[in-house]
Chains A and B, each alone.
Chain A
Amino acid sequence: DGGITQSPKYLFRKEGQNVTLSCEQNLNHDAMYWYRQDPGQGLRLIYYSQIVNDFQKGDIAEGYSVSREKKESFPLTVTSAQKNPTAFYLCASSIAGSPRGELFFGEGSRLTVL
């Protein structure tokens, strides 16, 4: 069954701790993205990657880090430097060069900082 898998679905973290959210896709897509979804603010781009071993900061990258060592994987680390990490995080992928914006989304990970 092809698609994007995010894990965990729910995560609780204490202040000061880093946490890593997993995103795996088996769609053979080149591009992958991380968005943060907050009520009333829509989706805001954190990081994106068009190709393995390369990634760019999105609009709200501060306090986050990513890696793209494999085509199918794009993990997001929420660091202790992120001032307001409690949110719903969405991972997406697309075919590089396809109409820009045809994104396939995971089910999301909800992070709560206690």
Chain B
Amino acid sequence: AQRVTQPEKLLSVFKGAPVELKCNYSYSGSPELFWYVQYSRQRLQLLLRHISRESIKGFTADLNKGETSFHLKKPFAQEEDSAMYYCALGGYQKVTFGTGTKLQVIP
């Protein structure tokens, strides 16, 4: 079975503060991890994927196989980062999502 856990439903931070959205996964095979973002009134879209090791909009995420985690980080939050964030696990043929974390950046 594959499972994704996002422990925080809501994360509120002040503008300029660091952000860390937590994600843990359970999967017996070799996982492919992703972060998706849903801005207000927009469709869900891919933010970044672990295999690319890229930084998108200042966000990074490192896959830690030992801790089975894929936390999303950004050093300085901006107001436009306010959105719903979903961690996702690509397993055999299907993709499993976490319950999501709403990030609220306070001006």
Residues of A within 8 A of B (CB): 33, 35, 40-45, 48, 50, 56, 58-59, 90, 92, 94, 99-103, 105-108
Contact = CB atoms under 8 A, between A and B. Distances in A.
Contacts of B90: 99-102
Which has the most chain A C-beta neighbours within 10 Å: B86, B93, B94? Answer: B94
Given A35-B97, A43-B86, A45-B96, A101 B49 contact: yes
Interface in B44-80: 44-46, 49, 51
A45 B43 contact: no
A107 B86 CA distance: 16
Interface of B: 6, 9, 32-34, 36, 43-46, 49, 51, 86, 88-100
Contacts, number: 63
Given A33-B95, A40-B9, A42-B99, A102 B43 contact: no
Given A100-B95, A101-B95, A105-B44, A42 B86 contact: yes
Contact of A108 (B9, B43, B51, B98): B43
Contact of A102 (B46, B91, B93): B46
Q: Closest 7 interchain pairs by CB?
A: A100-B90, A101-B90, A42-B99, A43-B97, A101-B34, A105-B44, A101-B95
A43 B98 CA distance: 7
15 contacts: A41-B99, A42-B86, A42-B99, A43-B44, A48-B94, A99-B49, A101-B32, A101-B34, A101-B49, A101-B90, A102-B34, A102-B90, A103-B36, A103-B46, A105-B44
Contacts of A92: 44
Contacts of A33: 94-95
Given A100-B90, A102-B34, A107 B43 contact: yes
A33 B92 CA distance: 14
Contacts of A41: 99
Given A42-B100, A45-B96, A101 B43 contact: no
Given A40-B99, A58-B94, A102 B86 contact: no
